[in-house]
A = this chain, B = another copy of it.
Amino acid sequence: MSDISNSHFGIHAKWIYTANSKQELLEDHIILIKNDLIEEIVPFSDFSNNEDLNILNLGESLITPGLINAHTHSAMTFLKGISDDQRLNDWLEKSIWPNEEKLLSNDLVYDASQLACLEMLSSGITTFNDMYFFPDATAKAATVVGIRANIGLVFIEFKSSYANDFTDYLDKGLKFRDDFRGEENVTTTLAPHAPYTVSDDSFLKIRTYADQLGMNIHCHMHETEWEIINSIEQHNVRPLARLDSLGLLGPDFIAVHCVHLSSSDIEIIKKNQINIVTCPVSNLKLASGMPKINTMLNAAQNVSIGSDGSASNNKLGLFDDLKLFALLQRNEAGVTEFTNSKNLFDMVTINAAKTLNMQDQIGSIEKNKKADLVAFNLSDIHLQPIYDPLSTIIYSGGRDNVEHVWVNGDLKFSETEFINDIDVETSINKIKLWKNKIST
């Protein structure tokens, strides 16, 4: 299919969901792509192919902006499915932490992140927002796979095989940021792990760097009840209140989880125009609690959806997350309206782009935005009949309906194949070798 990987071409589909501010669902249109950008979106009936461009006709397909996974730990793919039946404490203490301590290395993070990137790309994800040790290894894996990555400079107040202390995490993080400055597909955030693992002092330094470098802050917040109880014991306040008083919160703050929110927390979120990323599958799998979707939608500047890491989900593809988000939203007390399918798709496209402050580049199908696109084949027997192509994907569809994925106008995945020169077998075999070193 090299004929559609050239620098100026068109894609013709039955449906295009733009995720633009009018939430336009276009029928029978062509997206024209020039180099890495969307040149124009035109009705098929108005299109005359004067320049004799290659036009890929996808027939009964839906094209949407490439999906954005707003929170993950790609490299945790090496722990996918470990001790699935264990409760949180045993799972963390017997399976996750000992193996991280034993095995974490640049090589492991690279190999596991590469597998995660392949999983995400083939699930229609073109951008992911990551937080983990050895961020440079994840960034490198993303670059090789050809997916867009927003990578956190991680901070945590304990020694790891990656770094020794706050200064070391900071130095390594900033060096990573400098090293990847020329890499168009890699952007960075500051990623303090969580209120219970980062000190006031460190948070204050992170705020300073965020202001000076214009970087977002990406942090787990209010994931479990334990975290809140612990904060009250240690600091006499709930975590959000603590960070508010430190001056850490603002429209550049990305709060992940927010499962447990009091009315005072909600006020803090509103006042500071915080972004929330919810990870409903992970929250339920770890029995952290049921996220209150409507509360988030009412409080946050933007709500978007993340898979969380593979160890607690165990899919990075967002389809299960989006469906569960929709199902939970409908079942909260006092709900009178169901979040419609356009708003749901916005959670994994434009809202996530806004959350990452990348809305000028990605998240919608609009002129001059990056040509990050996913085409869903809707001719599959499992999807028939089709009344609404968006709700069809949300409620009947899945990763097996992802047919083509473009990043920067380059075709990266088509039918069941990766286009780049990626040896999938080797990638799988590497993860099997790592698995053999795991203790369970």
| A residues adjacent to B (C-beta < 8 A) | 77-78, 80-87, 115, 118-119, 122-123, 281, 284-285, 287, 289-290, 313-315, 317, 320, 323-324, 327-328, 330-331, 335-341, 379, 381-382, 384-388, 391-392, 394-396, 398-400, 424, 427-428, 431-432, 434-435, 438, 440
Contact = CB atoms under 8 A, between A and B. Distances in A.
A324 B122 CA distance: 23
A331 B284 contact: yes
Contacts of A434: 385
Given A281-B327, A284-B327, A396 B80 contact: yes
Given A381-B119, A382-B119, A395-B315, A335 B287 contact: yes
Contacts of A285: 327, 330, 395
A312 to B, nearest CB: 10
Contacts of A381: 115, 118-119, 122, 424, 427-428
A320 B323 contact: yes
A338 B289 contact: no
12 contacts: A80-B387, A81-B388, A84-B341, A85-B341, A85-B388, A115-B384, A118-B381, A284-B330, A313-B395, A381-B428, A387-B438, A398-B399
Contacts of A399: 382, 398, 400
Number of this chain's copies in the complex: 2
A206 B346 CA distance: 50
Contacts of A317: 382
B340 A391 contact: no
Contacts of A290: 331
A315 B324 CA distance: 14
B387 A83 contact: yes
Contacts of A427: 381
A322 B130 CA distance: 29
A275 to B, nearest CB: 25
A332 to B, nearest CB: 9
A395 B81 CA distance: 8
Contacts of A84: 341, 387-388, 391, 394-395
A123 B380 CA distance: 13
A385 B431 contact: yes
A323 B280 CA distance: 13
Contact of A432 (B284, B328, B331, B384): B384
Interface centre among A85, A115, A320, A391 (most CB of B within 10 A): A85
A437 to B, nearest CB: 11
A337 B91 CA distance: 12
A330 B424 CA distance: 35
